[in-house]
Amino acid sequence: MTEALDALVIGAGPAGLMAAEALAAAGRRVVICEAKASPARKFLMAGKSGLNLTKAEDLPRFTAHYDSDWLAPMLAAFGPDQVQDWCRALGQEVFTGSSGRVFPKAMKASPLLRAWLKRLGEAGVTLRSRWRWQGFAEGGLAFDTPDGPQLLAPKVTVLALGGASWARLGSDAAWVPWLAAKGVQITPFQPANMGFVVDWSPHMARFFGAPVKGVALCVGNRRERGEFVISARGLEGGGIYTVSRDLRLGAALVLDLLPDLAEAEVAARLAKMRAAETTANRLRKLGLAPAAVALVQEFGRSLPMVQAIKALPIRLAGPRPIDEAISSAGGIARQSLTEGLELRALPGVFACGEMLDWEAPTGGYLLTGCLATGKWAGQMAAKADG
């Protein structure tokens, strides 16, 4: 039997919940179907170490961090200021850190999610857990549910199924062949905001887990201050994620380990040291931490010491697998979408969040992008007749 619905959202991550909220605010009767036992698992996982909601920047600078300029109107409508106001309206005060990153004062995602789900429930939104979409069927959308197969026939649908990273939390890209079969163009998924493999020599093992702080990562014409962690698998962490797109596309990584000192100053300080001193001692006297000294010894032995400190080339062996990535690049191509995020091949079906082909770094940009596209898709779907 087919169940008729007014508005359906598939996926209960941040984008899907925001789409549901926008639909409900416009007076639509909304049902959310979520494959997992509980909503927003990736959102909760991301918030375990502190939920970075957005970045307190002016809009032009903020939107410049996205690789897709077609998101600009959505970010203008729901950007950093609006995200903060939305959070406060849920009773969660925010604060801005020294780097400009914005966090809820509670730091964790769970209080915010609880307040959000409560507000959605009060707005009449129904959440159905363990309802896994199985693709299109004659007369509707097929689902595997705790009560067996079900068929839904909504007037409008918003897809918010996530990308292709962290499959265990729900983003498994199982939807790709179903949309592709309907004529939707899909840009192949690739890892984004991910670590990179390094084939370490044995002496690096004792530095696994050590952070490298206060360095500049130079990639092509870009120079980004940041930090990262040396792991058994390679390099990972915020600094690496910031430049991960360029690295994935083949750019080389060069480190400036003393970014606040000019080359001439480094050379002058080295010249004052005794020539008989070991390289490790000389590097430590310059102020390099043990992990940074290890990197010089790993990659810079054949280089002049000043170059090894100020322009150390790091040999990377490719990105970590996509399922280990924080996010994914690729997804529904721009040309398959209207300005309102409706699928051209499927009238009445909209898409948002990481399903779409856009990429942004961590630091609040990812989450804001998901919220902004979710709100936009929900508002546009609310206007559709179905």
pLDDT of residue 50: 87
Residue 263 lies in a domain: yes
Other residues' Cβ atoms within 10 Å of the Cβ of residue 335: 9
Query: Which residue, 314, 346, 374, sits at the end of a domain?
Result: 314
- Provide the residue type at 260 as one letter: D
Residue 320 lies in a domain: no
Residue 130 lies in a domain: yes
What angle is formed at CA 37 by the lines to CA 111 and CA 32, rounded to 5 degrees? Answer: 80
pLDDT of residue 220: 94
Residue 65 lies in a domain: yes
Same domain as 86, residue 149: yes
Domain count of the fold of the chain: 2
First to last CA, the chain: 20
- Least Cα distance to 254 among 293, 312, 299 occurs for 312
Same domain as 344, residue 306: no
Same domain as 152, residue 9: yes
Residue 324 lies in a domain: no
Sheet of 234-236, strand order? 196-197, 234-236, 222-231, 211-219, 253-256, 312-314
Residue 260 lies in a domain: yes
Same domain as 157, residue 46: yes
Same domain as 100, residue 209: no
Same domain as 116, residue 49: yes
Same domain as 223, residue 91: no
Same domain as 115, residue 51: yes
Domain range for 35 is: 2-191+329-382
Other residues' Cβ atoms within 10 Å of the Cβ of residue 201: 11
- Phi then psi dihedrals of residue 242, to 5 deg: -60, -35
Q: Which residues of the chain have pLDDT under 70?
A: 386
Same domain as 160, residue 200: no
The pTM score is 0.94
Residue 321 lies in a domain: no
Query: Which residue, 279, 314, 349, sits at the end of a domain?
Result: 314
Structure tokens that stand for 339 in this block: 């300005």
Residue 78 lies in a domain: yes
Three-state secondary structure of the chain: CEEEEEEEEECCCHHHHHHHHHHHHCCCCEEEEECCCCCCHHHHHHHHHCCCCEECCCHHHHHCCCCCHHHHHHHHHCCHHHHHHHHHHCCCCEEECCCCEEEECCCCCHHHHHHHHHHHHHCCCEEEECCEEEEEECCEEEEEECCEEEEEEEEEEEECCCCCCCHHHCCCCCCHHHHHCCCCCEEEEEEECCCEECCCCHHHHHHCCCEEEEEEEEECCEEEEEEEEEECCEEECHHHHHCHHHHHCCCCEEEECCCCCCHHHHHHHHHCCCCCCCHHHHHHHCCCCHHHHHHHHHHCCCCCHHHHHHCEEECCCCECCHHHCCEEEEEECHHHECCCCEECCCCCEEECHHHECCCCCCCCHHHHHHHHHHHHHHHHHHCCCC
- Least Cα distance to 157 among 35, 19, 39, 38 occurs for 19
Same domain as 137, residue 210: no
Angle between helices 365-382 and 14-25 (to 10 degrees): 30
- Least Cα distance to 199 among 301, 316, 291 occurs for 316
CATH of the domain at 179: 3.50.50.60
Same domain as 85, residue 108: yes
Same domain as 204, residue 83: no
Query: Which residue, 314, 346, 365, sits at the end of a domain?
Result: 314
CA 29/CA 126 separation, integer angstroms: 9
pLDDT of residue 48: 77
Sheet of 94-96, strand order? 54-55, 101-104, 94-96
